[in-house]
Amino acid sequence: MPSLLDMRRRIKSVKNTQQITKAMKMVAAAKLKRAQDRVTAARPFAQKMSEVLTGLSAKVADELSHPLLDPRGDEKYLIVLVSADKGLAGAFNANVIKATQAFLSQSSGKSTELVAVGRKGRDFFKRRTVEITDEYIGLTGSGQVNHQDALDIARHIIQKFTDDTTIDKVFLVYTEFRTVLSQKPVIEQILPVPRLVEEESGDKGAQAEYIYEQPAAEIFGKLLPRQVETQLYKAMLESVASEQGSRMTAMDSASKNAGELIDTLTLNMNRIRQAAITKEIIEVVSGAAAL
């Protein structure tokens, strides 16, 4: 049975841990509010831009050719994985890594390369057989996303896709933020930019009429790279918001568990102290009876 001093030390240690988890929860809540506002502001622009470009691509599919739009084969994939730089965020990193592994398993017959955005994803696949061609570390540790960092990564991916004609498709894997308690890993194809399918377009995209002030090739030459940049920036914003929401939930659960553990340890400490007092009383009474 542990001594009274050992129990007091354990209680003090758990209380110190509880203070840390409470502080981390408050910090994550503050970062989450800022990240959630930025995601909410970025979503309408990214969604509308995607709708317009896919609609335009359906209109000019037969007359326009562009390296970022023309379909290629289906043999080699480049996967861009967006994860966190830090842990202690519940199942956030595990879920996005698991989704990437599932996608790799489904694409077992393909040649795959990985671009890691975030330390956790890099560290996991660095010990696996997947080839990591590029890595970007320390971009989201502060809870914010620098727009210029997202542009640099997107432009590098575009350049890599344009120069290396053996890369057939580029997929983006990230965590979509829904609520504080709900985040979902998402896999999207970003290159070649998907064209709108006539059967799936309904009454919106296929019937929309556009007036071109410049030739279509010139418009797509500027908008297609911007589309990839926007999608990557939005994915990084979604990932940061999901990370902070998951961390806040995890730290709240850890604080509650620490409180329950403190109550249990305090109860055990009181029992040990009561047993020690009872033992001393019995010793005094036995000594007096012997005299």
Both 137 and 262 in one domain: the answer is: no
Cβ pair 187, 252 in contact under 8 A: no
Residues forming beta bridges with residue 173, ordered by sequence position: 81, 187
- Cα–Cα separations (whole angstroms), residue 32 to 19, 56, 145, 159, 231: 20, 36, 12, 33, 20
Instruction: Give the total number of structural domains in the chain.
Output: 2
pLDDT tens sequence across 235-281 = 999 999 999 999 999 999 999 999 999 999 999 999 999 988 898 88
SS3 278: helix
Q: What's the helix, strand, coil split of the chain in %, to 5?
A: 60, 15, 25
pLDDT of residue 200: 44
pTM of the model: 0.86
d(CA 34, CA 170): 30
184: helix, strand or coil: strand
**Which conformational region is residue 143 in: left (phi greater than 0), alpha (psi within -120 to 50 degrees), or beta?**
left
Residue 227 and residue 119 share a domain: yes
State residue 93's pLDDT score: 96
> Do 144 and 53 form a contact (C-beta atoms < 8 A)?
no
Q: What is the pLDDT of residue 197?
A: 46
**Per-residue pLDDT tens digits for 181-200:** 899 999 999 998 877 544 34
Structural domain including 11 reads 4-24+252-290
Q: What is the pLDDT of residues 6-33, one digit of tens each?
A: 999 999 999 999 999 999 999 999 999 9
CATH number at residue 16: 1.10.287.80
Q: What would the pLDDT profile of 137-148 be if each residue is shown by its tens digit?
A: 999 888 889 999
Q: In CATH, what number is assigned to the domain containing residue 158?
A: 3.40.1380.10
